[in-house]
Every structure is written in C-alpha cells, then in structure tokens.
Amino acid sequence: MNKSIILIGGNGHAKVVSEILDDLKLKINIIVAPFIDQGFAGFKGIKQLKNDQEVLKLSPDKHILVNGIGSLPGNNLRKKLYDKFKINGYNFLKLVSPHSIISQSVKLAEGVQVMPGVIINSDSCIGENSIINSGSIIEHDCIIGDHNHVAPGATICGGVKTGSSVHIGVGASVIQQIKIGDNSVVGAGATLTRNLQKYQIIYSERFHTSSLKHDK
C-alpha cells in the first residue's frame, strides 16, 4: 500500500473495519471523527483529525480513504461522505475480510466492504460503497447497487437486482430473480417474494408495504 490510510468514523462499524484492516496487515494512519471509542485498543496511538475539512487539506494522491460510517435506513451520512470526498478527488479502499468466501468471478466496485463470514457466489456484482455485512449470503448472478447495505445474516438468492441505497435488514431473505428499487428497505426478518418499487419498505413476512419519503 503506497498511500496512507485514513479511516472515517470512530464508533462501531469503524471498529470492525479497523480489525479487517489489521487482518490484512494494513495500517491505519489517521482516524477522522469528532469522538472515537477511547476504550478500543485498535484505535490507540493513531492520529485523530476532528472533521472532514482537515482531511481535505491532505493530498488525495498520497492518501486513500476507508468509510467507517455504518448504514441504517433513512440515514444517508455514509453516502454523503463518500460523494463529498469523491468529488474532491479522493478514492476509497475496497475491503474484503480474509474470513469471507468470494467467488473469483465476483466484481466488487470501489469502496465495497465485505465483512467476516460473508459468502458471495459466481458472477455477482457489488456496487460502490456498499456494505455486505457479517454472515450474509449473496448467491450467483446478483447485481447489488451502489450504497447498499446487506445486513448481518441476510440471504439474497440468485439473480436478484437492487437499485441504489437499498437496505436489506438483519436475517431477511430475498428469493431469486427479485428486483428492488432505489431507496427501498427489506425489514429485518422479512421474506421478499415480489418485486419492490422505489421508496418502499416491506416490514413483515406477509409483504405489507408502505412508501418511504424521499430523502433529499
């Protein structure tokens, strides 16, 4: 790694990301967060910057970013930070836990994070800045859009296609060939058996849906 690594964020998701970096023998040079978990051993001794403006003073040619901000429905901070730094010429590290199983034919875009215990099977594609979280399964020929979060324990069957900023909740299941529109949510534990339109949420196993407000 020729560039210095800057980790954005100092709480839960950032801690998991930092341990993956350690597993990969990659050193964090700077943490960017107003507050960090001071009790976490993985953050000790690392230079801290308090805000994004301090990062923007640093050369994007000499630094690469890791997005340590988590992702929840209705909260687009992770996406906003990604877009902000990309506009300013920075790149984001693609991060794959060595404790995951990824087919050689899988395509991972910039900034994708694959957490421990994940399985991604043949010819699937994962879009920019997406989190494939712990223990989730993505089967063959899936296309996962930009800024998605596939939460822990979720299962996505073959040939599923998702739009941008989709959230697949903890333990949710999506059957094969389903299409999910931008900014939609499959709630925790739900089973999705029909296509889901933009800005919709399924929050029960009986496919009861409601519309989400557009988040500007």
* Same domain, yes or no: 47 and 114: no
Point out the residues that are catalytic.
140
Total number of domains in the chain: 2
* Same domain, yes or no: 82 and 150: no
Pairing of strands 200-202, 209-211: antiparallel
Please state, as a whole number, how many other Cβ atoms lie within 10 Å of the Cβ of residue 211: 11
* Same domain, yes or no: 111 and 215: yes
* Same domain, yes or no: 113 and 206: yes
* Same domain, yes or no: 137 and 190: yes
Helices then strands, each counted (H, E), the chain:
3, 23
Q: Is the pLDDT of residue 1 over 90?
A: no
Which pLDDT belongs to residue 88? 96
Whichever domain contains 146, its CATH number is 2.160.10.10
Whichever domain contains 28, its CATH number is 3.40.50.20
* Same domain, yes or no: 184 and 162: yes
- Tell me if 52 sits within 8 A of 30, measured CB to CB: no
Rg (CA), the chain: 17
Domain containing residue 137: 94-216
Please tell me the distance from the alpha carbon of residue 149 to that of residue 186, in angstroms, as a whole number: 10
- 123 exposure class (CB count in 10 Å sphere: 0-12, 13-18, 19+): middle
Residue type present at position 113: Q
* Same domain, yes or no: 45 and 152: no
User: What is the rounded average pLDDT of the residues 149-162?
Assistant: 98
pLDDT in tens, 47-73: 999 999 999 999 999 999 999 999 999
* Same domain, yes or no: 21 and 115: no
Please tell me the distance from the alpha carbon of residue 212 to that of residue 174, in angstroms, as a whole number: 19
* Same domain, yes or no: 140 and 212: yes
Q: Is the pLDDT of residue 9 over 50?
A: yes
